[in-house]
Amino acid sequence: SAFDLTRVADTLRARIDASLDAYCELSDGCPDELQAAIRYSLLAPGKRLRPILVLMATRACGRQVEVALPAACAVEMVHAYSLIHDDLPAMDDDDLRRGQPACHKKFGEATAILAGDALLTLAFEVLAREVHPPRVAAACCGALARAAGASGMVGGQADDVAGHLPTSDNPESRSTHTLESIHNRKTGAMICVALRLGALVAEADQTQIEALENYGRCVGLAFQITDDLLDVQGQEAAIGKRAGKDSVRGKLTFPGLFGAEESSRRAE
Ligand code: GRG
């Protein structure tokens, strides 16, 4: 009860936002329109859940949060890229993100794709340059690349996108296993790696890393179930994007599979 999560998160979010702002002050060679699109999406008001988890993991391992700010920002950059690309017409086709027009609605599709590309690469530049010593930077780059890549977030997104196709109505594709596998990669991997990066920059031991990752898996699943529930129950203004989309598209979701009550129980 002595721990006020809202207050701690607010304080950490302010530090993360200041660092993000500094990191996307891009100079020489970056066209103004591209920089504007990068800043528009990265600095838009989000919860900063993943970077907050990085900082809190570092603190849990006994180090000051300052040491974790570059890794925290790198995770948020990859997250912001994924949201920009996810909103594109070829993906989830969303007009609204974080309570404002999606990046491609504001800047056009080509600039939005490039802003996503630039954020993804900037994340690794920041890790390589700002994390010390170099072997920890290399470990962070490897971990983030694995989580965000073809067997992680991108793979989960690919299966999710394929699931929207009318041909995928076989019963197996509608199983709990499929649902959890998609979410573990699409959403869970980035939440898990946030905790792993926090531990890595703190030079934590294997037991600490595993404990944090186990926590990350549980939080990731609870987060996804809640996201599905908000899509069913949420108001657009509260969630900052269109509500009710999942059922319109016949998407595989936790409330769709287990009902809202059982889904809430599982998230709890
Ligand atoms: C395009 C490669 C690629 C991947 C996209 C993350 C993702 C994968 C898609 C987002 C689609 C979505 C709504 C997923 C549900 C969970 C989720 C990641 C929600 C958005 O994250 P929040 O709630 O957003 O942390 P804020 O804006 O607070 O950062």
Tens place of pLDDT for every residue, the chain, 268 residues?
A: 578 999 999 999 999 999 999 999 998 899 999 999 999 999 999 999 999 999 999 999 999 999 999 999 999 999 999 999 999 999 999 999 999 999 999 999 999 999 999 999 999 999 999 999 999 999 999 999 999 999 999 999 999 888 754 445 555 555 788 888 888 999 999 999 999 999 999 999 999 999 999 999 999 999 999 999 998 887 555 666 666 676 666 677 888 888 899 999 999 9
Distances (CA, A) of 210 to 37, 67, 152, 207: 37, 20, 18, 5
Which pLDDT belongs to residue 13? Answer: 98
Distance of CA 3 from the midpoint of ligand 1 (Å)? 28
Which pair of structure tokens corresponds to residue 36? 């504007």
User: Side-chain half-sphere of 210: how many Cα atoms within 13 Å?
Assistant: 3
Residue nearest to atom 18 of ligand 1 (CA): 187
* CA separation for the pair 75, 242 (Å, rounded): 25
Which pLDDT belongs to residue 9? Answer: 96
DSSP assignment of 88-120, as one string? STTTT--SEETTEE-HHHHH-HHHHHHHHHHHH
Distance of CA 133 from the midpoint of ligand 1 (Å)? 31
Atom of ligand 1 nearest to the CA of 79: 6
Under a CB-based contact definition with an 8 Å cutoff, are residues 57 and 63 in contact? no
* CA separation for the pair 118, 216 (Å, rounded): 27
Which pLDDT belongs to residue 217? Answer: 92
Mutate to test the pocket of ligand 1, among 86, 190, 245 (most ligand atoms within 8 A of CB): 86
* Nearest alpha carbon to residue 50 among 153, 128, 158: 153
Atom of ligand 1 nearest to the CA of 186: 8
Distance of CA 4 from the midpoint of ligand 1 (Å)? 26
Residue nearest to atom 14 of ligand 1 (CA): 187
Which pLDDT belongs to residue 239? Answer: 61
Under a CB-based contact definition with an 8 Å cutoff, are residues 198 and 211 in contact? no
* CA separation for the pair 64, 15 (Å, rounded): 13
Q: Which long-range contacts (CB under 8 A, 24 or more apart) does 55-59 make?
A: 55/12, 55/15, 55/16, 55/198, 56/8, 56/12, 56/198, 57/194, 57/195, 57/196, 57/197, 57/198, 57/199, 57/202, 57/212, 58/198, 58/199, 58/201, 58/202, 59/198
Which pLDDT belongs to residue 166? Answer: 40
Pocket of ligand 1 (CB under 6 A): 46-47, 49, 79, 82-83, 85-86, 91, 98, 153-154, 157, 186-187, 227
Atom of ligand 1 nearest to the CA of 80: 29
* CA separation for the pair 63, 251 (Å, rounded): 42
Distances (CA, A) of 57 to 14, 53, 161, 202: 17, 6, 32, 8
Under a CB-based contact definition with an 8 Å cutoff, are residues 124 and 145 in contact? yes
